[in-house]
Amino acid sequence: MTDESALAPRTRALQLFDGLVTDTSLRRFLEGIPGVDAVGLEQRAAALGTRSIKTTSKAAAIDTIISMIDLTTLEGADTPGKVRSLVAKALVPDAGDAACPQPAAVCVYGDMVATAVDALGAAHGQISVAAVATAFPSGRASLRVKLADTADAVAAGADEIDMVIDRGAFLSGQYAQVFDEIVAVKRACRREDGTSAHLKVILETGELNTYDNVRRASWLAILAGADFIKTSTGKVSPAATLPVTLLMLEVVRDWFRLTGERIGVKPAGGIRTSKDAIKFLVTVAETCGEDWLTPELFRFGASSLLNDVLLQRQKLATGHYSGPDYVTID
């Protein structure tokens, strides 16, 4: 990604707001977006959650889910050994089946990026390294610190940056501050060779309080240059609910219809079973279309989901459930 294209979202927003991005212009736009019909949203999410898929399609769905997982460890007690163990699992999810797909990425704190890159070796690129940044999970730091956090992770080899927005600023109506921070972080994602790490913008929907705020924050993040919009840090409850993910998918669908640009969505936190993950896949297909059923446009942020999906995959292959000791303990 070149410097010019990295700034394209800001140029796009400037055109939308007649050349001036301010709290007033952003408020006029964001608060002019029609309100969310909460009852209708939740009913549609519930209906999509009851859809079943044929047994012949389930194997493909399970492999798709595995390919979309950002295998994650984000604990204060993380060690290089734990990160290497996580990478080993990403490289070989099922030691008994060489045909098992690999996850899309491993997601770690910025100071663990170099360890993850080293552990991946030649597979780095085939499996991405995602790093949380900008004072994750609270986002409570100066912009200078947030940008340094991002730049350090990119310099260490991160392919993707998962940033958090300043929820306090957003809820206070300081939309321009949130917009400018996303633009600045996107700029900090650039590498010396002119390419750029992909930027996922975490909304922390559990702290935004209303569906209207989730819709506005989604539009704001996309206007500022997000490659993905992500529900949660996984540290706040509720995290990735189906109604919230549906709402965010509707925003990226509407953005695509408006601009022709595809933006990704990443639900994170609380998705632990293949049954739940399949509900999200159905919601993606029904809302944005099957073009979004790819790791380039949809991810699951998860640590324990992979184990359940692997057990379900083994069940389809053998006809019986394996015990939990047939998968590694994270």
- The verdict on whether 279 is a catalytic residue reads no
What is the per-residue burial (b if ≥16 Cβ within 10 Å, else e) of 96-105? Answer: eeeebbbbbb
- Distance, in Å, from the CA atom of 89 to the CA atom of 175, rounded to the nearest integer, reads 40
Measured from the Cβ of residue 148, the count of other Cβ atoms closer than 10 Å reads: 16
- The verdict on whether 58 is a catalytic residue reads no
Measured from the Cβ of residue 192, the count of other Cβ atoms closer than 10 Å reads: 7
- Residue by residue, DSSP assigns 93-113 as S-TT-TTPPPPSEEEEEGGGH
| CA-based torsion, 167, 171, 173, 175: positive or negative | positive
- Distance, in Å, from the CA atom of 175 to the CA atom of 181, rounded to the nearest integer, reads 10
User: What's the order of all strands across the beta sheet hosting 264-266?
Assistant: 264-266, 228-230, 198-202, 160-164, 128-133, 105-109, 69-72, 300-302
Which two three-digit tokens encode residue 267? 């639900």
Catalytic residue chosen out of the listed positions 230, 276, 279, 308: 230
Catalytic residue chosen out of the listed positions 70, 94, 162, 227: 162
Long-range contacts at 282-289 (CB < 8 A, ≥ 24 apart)? 282/48, 282/49, 282/51, 282/53, 283/45, 283/48, 283/49, 283/242, 283/245, 283/246, 283/249, 284/249, 286/48, 286/51, 287/246, 287/249, 287/250, 287/253, 288/249, 288/252, 288/253, 288/256, 289/253
| CA-based torsion, 241, 244, 248, 253: positive or negative | positive
- The verdict on whether 180 is a catalytic residue reads no
Write out the catalytic residue numbers. 162, 230, 266
